[in-house]
């Protein structure tokens, strides 16, 4: 009880002193604008306080500020962050990623992003009232592409196209697979339940539906659609419950009228059988058919679809490249020749006898296709492979239990078993690495292929990025619900959702923004048999023999004859030394701050006084040199006790003049008498203490890549 009374009396005295200090501070008259030089704790350039979010968000960053007002940024970063430092942002609104890699966010209270923008440059992110299901990028007469979003009208259930200020009803069936739709010049190509619709977009909307590939009943697999050299191919692959379409349909456009064209049906009589698993287009106009047979057997057939002459000089150059000293170039030439088709065989036979032995072996492998077609450079060991998954871009993943035979520089081919093969119609068949194949052996594992990235996902470990010979988790602890990978946008943002139909929440991992989760990375360094300090410019310096300053991206030697190194505040020129009567901080835009132990007061340039009593758990230590620093995004950092940094925001129009964003203690030096705490020219907070120790704090929440390269591995925060 006695202790409580003593504490109460001491607290009353402290609060009374605080009130008197506040009154004294608020009685001060406004000061004129500061000269060009400013205290060392102020930023090198003055910036306005971060703007409050607009009443109606008009940009992506407005929306981010609405959701995360404490994010340590005033605009998206010009240089993207590493994935590990990127901002993790959760959106409850519908988010659509279109085929061009552009984001469309639906929200009722936004200012819609104009579709026609000055200069024809598309927006980074579009905010709309409509829920977008597809975006057609339409070429105009200047060569620019104008976005025309498609949405479903909730009142009528019909799909509508936004064409500038006009919303046009689309003459399409009620069910369309928009996830597999794509733009094709002035046309939209979209699969329907039993075929394909080609929609010519012009002054009128011309609907050119394909002949049906199958009846709606019984249920069948999704329609596969791809561009060929001239038109569009579509078919329905077989499933366990349905044999698939009898051949294909092909759309050929009219050369003179973009709104016209015709459909062809190619069936067994034209050598297009039922049971087409996948197609591979070859350079000479032939198509490699992969046809399902009983017991997972796959028949490989080559059929001519459109005669296309090969460039004989190009083929000859590729044949010469088979003898290149660079093994990678030899392999590239081998793959391109394999994709050329049967029309290259006479040229290969003519050149074979004049080639070195290794190149002759490779040509021999290619000519085996005359007897037995293969999957490019790969041959199925027992003729079997089984579908694992299909992808919206007409890609397919297969597994060959007995494996594939792969040609090597030796005479004996290499057998890879089991083998995972990824195919797209216009690309070579890709053999997945053994390490990636092992990841896919996990029960429930799936694969996504986006922008050259291989993403493995399974119920136990979640989505992971395949790098080298292993995988790296893409989500943090607590984000397990966002297990469905959506894609990567054109700015490098990664999207995940917690809903299989994209109707739930979306997690955007954005390298153009710092993480709103408060972070303060720290690099601690000790100079053995040396000292630390700073130079006149404010760069941190370590001195052991010679002196070195840590500038923005590298260490630079310091010539102490012209650039003295300081080790204590008393050594600095008198004009820069703080005094007891001075404010904690005076900013270039003439805000003044006082207190810092049990209160913090801001005095505005117009003289308004904004006093604030610190919360009890943030009261300062009187023996500690209180320091207040404002960083580039106008965030304040208060140091008023050993081993602690308080991140604050000035909120002059809020209920309280300050808001606490975070309190940091991890890796901060617990030293009662630091030599100095200051903001260096690179925007880092530096703590020099114990004569030979430095703590480099990164208030932006991440360590720049150039600095990471300078740090010992054990110090990377």
Which pLDDT score is estimated for 24?
53
Instruction: Tell me whether residue 663 is in a domain.
Output: yes
| pLDDT band per the 50, 70, 90 thresholds, residue 577 | very low
Which pLDDT score is estimated for 571?
74
Residue with tokens 């293969």: 374
Instruction: Tell me whether residue 679 is in a domain.
Output: yes
Instruction: Tell me whether residue 373 is in a domain.
Output: no
Instruction: Tell me whether residue 545 is in a domain.
Output: yes
- Asked if the model's pLDDT at residue 204 lies above 70, the reply is yes
Nearest to 63 by CA among 482, 477, 516, 487: 516
CB atoms inside a 10 Å sphere around CB 116: 11
0.75 surpassed by pTM: yes
Instruction: Tell me whether residue 236 is in a domain.
Output: no
Per residue in 592-608, pLDDT (tens digit) is 999 999 999 999 999 99
> With contact defined as beta carbons under 8 Å apart, do 291 and 275 qualify?
yes
Mean pLDDT within 557-568: 93
Distance from the Cα of residue 418 to its chain's centroid? 32
Domain count, the chain: 1
- Asked if the model's pLDDT at residue 475 lies above 50, the reply is yes
Which pLDDT score is estimated for 35?
32
Mean pLDDT within 341-349: 95
Nearest to 687 by CA among 632, 655, 639: 639
| pLDDT band per the 50, 70, 90 thresholds, residue 99 | very high
Which pLDDT score is estimated for 12?
45
Q: Residue 540 belongs to what domain range? A: 2-45+519-715
Instruction: Tell me whether residue 565 is in a domain.
Output: yes
Which pLDDT score is estimated for 55?
79
Instruction: Tell me whether residue 170 is in a domain.
Output: no
Mean pLDDT within 695-705: 92
Per residue in 17-65, pLDDT (tens digit) is 545 555 555 654 443 333 333 333 333 333 333 444 557 999 999 999 9
Mean pLDDT within 208-229: 91
- Asked if the model's pLDDT at residue 400 lies above 60, the reply is yes
Beta bridge partners, 548, equal 542, 557
| pLDDT band per the 50, 70, 90 thresholds, residue 11 | very low
Which pLDDT score is estimated for 317?
95
- Asked if the model's pLDDT at residue 72 lies above 70, the reply is yes
Per residue in 114-158, pLDDT (tens digit) is 998 766 688 989 999 999 999 999 988 888 899 999 999 999 999
> With contact defined as beta carbons under 8 Å apart, do 628 and 638 qualify?
yes
Nearest to 463 by CA among 432, 507, 418, 510: 507
Which pLDDT score is estimated for 258?
79
Instruction: Tell me whether residue 215 is in a domain.
Output: no
Percentage with pLDDT > 90 across the chain: 73
> With contact defined as beta carbons under 8 Å apart, do 396 and 419 qualify?
no
Which pLDDT score is estimated for 27?
53
d(CA 182, CA 335): 28
| pLDDT band per the 50, 70, 90 thresholds, residue 411 | low
- Asked if the model's pLDDT at residue 13 lies above 70, the reply is no
* Mean pLDDT estimate for the chain: 88
d(CA 663, CA 665): 7
Main-chain phi, psi angles of 603, to 5 degrees: -115, 120
CB atoms inside a 10 Å sphere around CB 668: 18
């Amino acid at each position: 009880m006695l202790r409580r009374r003593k504490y109460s009396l001491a607290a009353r005295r402290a609060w009374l002193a605080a009130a008197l200090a506040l009154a004294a501070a608020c009685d001060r008259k406004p000061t004129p604008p500061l000269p060009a030089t400013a205290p060392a704790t102020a930023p090198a350039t003055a910036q306005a306080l971060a703007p409050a979010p607009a009443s109606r968000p008009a940009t992506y960053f407005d929306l981010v500020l609405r959701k995360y007002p404490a994010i340590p940024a005033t605009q998206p970063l010009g240089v993207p962050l590493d994935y590990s430092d990127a901002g993790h942002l959760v959106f409850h609104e519908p988010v659509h990623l279109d085929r061009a890699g552009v984001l469309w966010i639906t929200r009722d209270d936004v200012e819609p992003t104009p579709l026609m923008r000055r200069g024809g440059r598309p927006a980074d992110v579009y905010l709309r009232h409509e829920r977008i299901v597809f975006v057609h990028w339409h070429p105009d007469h200047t060569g620019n592409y104008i976005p025309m979003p498609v949405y479903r009208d909730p009142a009528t259930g019909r799909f509508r196209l936004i064409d500038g200020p006009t919303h046009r009803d689309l003459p399409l069936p009620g069910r369309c697979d928009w996830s597999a739709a794509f733009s094709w010049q002035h046309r939209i190509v979209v699969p329907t339940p039993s075929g394909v619709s080609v929609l010519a977009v012009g002054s009128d909307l011309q609907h050119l539906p394909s002949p049906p590939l199958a009846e709606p009943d019984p249920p069948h697999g999704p329609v596969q659609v791809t561009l060929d050299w001239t038109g569009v191919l579509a078919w329905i692959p077989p499933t366990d419950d349905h044999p698939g379409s009898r051949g294909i349909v092909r759309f050929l456009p009219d050369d003179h009228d973009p709104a016209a064209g015709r459909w062809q049906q190619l069936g067994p009589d034209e050598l297009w059988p039922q049971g087409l698993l996948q197609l591979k287009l070859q350079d000479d106009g032939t198509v490699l058919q992969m046809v399902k047979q009983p017991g997972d057997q796959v028949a490989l057939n080559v059929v001519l679809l459109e005669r296309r002459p090969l460039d004989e000089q190009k083929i000859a150059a590729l044949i010469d490249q088979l003898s290149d000293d660079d093994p990678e170039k030899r392999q590239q030439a081998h793959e391109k020749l394999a994709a050329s088709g049967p029309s290259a065989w006479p040229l290969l036979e003519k050149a074979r006898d004049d080639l070195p032995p290794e190149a002759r072996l490779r040509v021999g492998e290619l000519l085996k296709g005359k007897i037995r077609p293969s999957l490019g450079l790969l041959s199925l060991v027992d003729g079997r492979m089984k579908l694992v998954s299909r992808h919206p871009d007409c890609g397919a993943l297969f597994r060959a239990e007995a494996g594939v035979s792969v040609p090597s520089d030796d005479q004996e081919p290499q057998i890879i078993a089991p083998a995972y093969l990824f195919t797209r119609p216009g690309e070579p068949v890709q053999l997945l690495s053994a390490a990636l194949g092992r990841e896919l052996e996990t029960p429930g594992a799936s694969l996504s292929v986006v922008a050259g990235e291989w993403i493995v996902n399974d119920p136990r470990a979640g989505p992971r990025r395949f790098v080298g010979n292993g995988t790296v988790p893409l989500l943090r602890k607590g984000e397990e619900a966002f297990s469905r990978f959506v894609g990567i946008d054109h700015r490098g943002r990664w999207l995940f959702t917690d809903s299989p139909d994209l109707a739930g929440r979306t997690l955007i991992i954005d390298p153009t923004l710092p993480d709103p989760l408060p972070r303060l990375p720290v690099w601690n360094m000790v100079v053995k048999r040396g000292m630390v300090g700073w130079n006149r410019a404010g760069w941190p310096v370590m001195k052991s023999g010679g002196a070195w300053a840590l500038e923005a991206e590298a260490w630079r030697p310091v010539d102490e004859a012209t650039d003295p190194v300081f080790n204590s505040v008393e050594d600095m020129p008198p004009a820069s030394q703080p005094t007891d009567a001075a404010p904690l901080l005076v900013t270039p835009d003439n805000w003044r701050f006082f207190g810092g132990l049990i209160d913090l007061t801001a005095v505005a340039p117009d003289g308004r006084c904004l006093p604030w009593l610190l919360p009890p758990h943030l009261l300062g230590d009187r023996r500690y040199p209180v320091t207040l620093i404002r960083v580039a995004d106008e965030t304040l950092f208060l140091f008023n006790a050993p081993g602690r940094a308080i991140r604050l925001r000035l909120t002059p129009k809020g209920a309280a003049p300050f808001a606490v964003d975070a309190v940091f203690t991890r890796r901060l030096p617990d030293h009662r008498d630091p030599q100095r705490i200051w903001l260096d020219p690179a925007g880092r907070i530096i703590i020099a203490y114990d004569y030979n120790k430095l703590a480099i704090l990164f208030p932006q929440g991440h360590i720049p890549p150039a600095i990471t390269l300078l740090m010992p591995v054990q110090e990377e925060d």
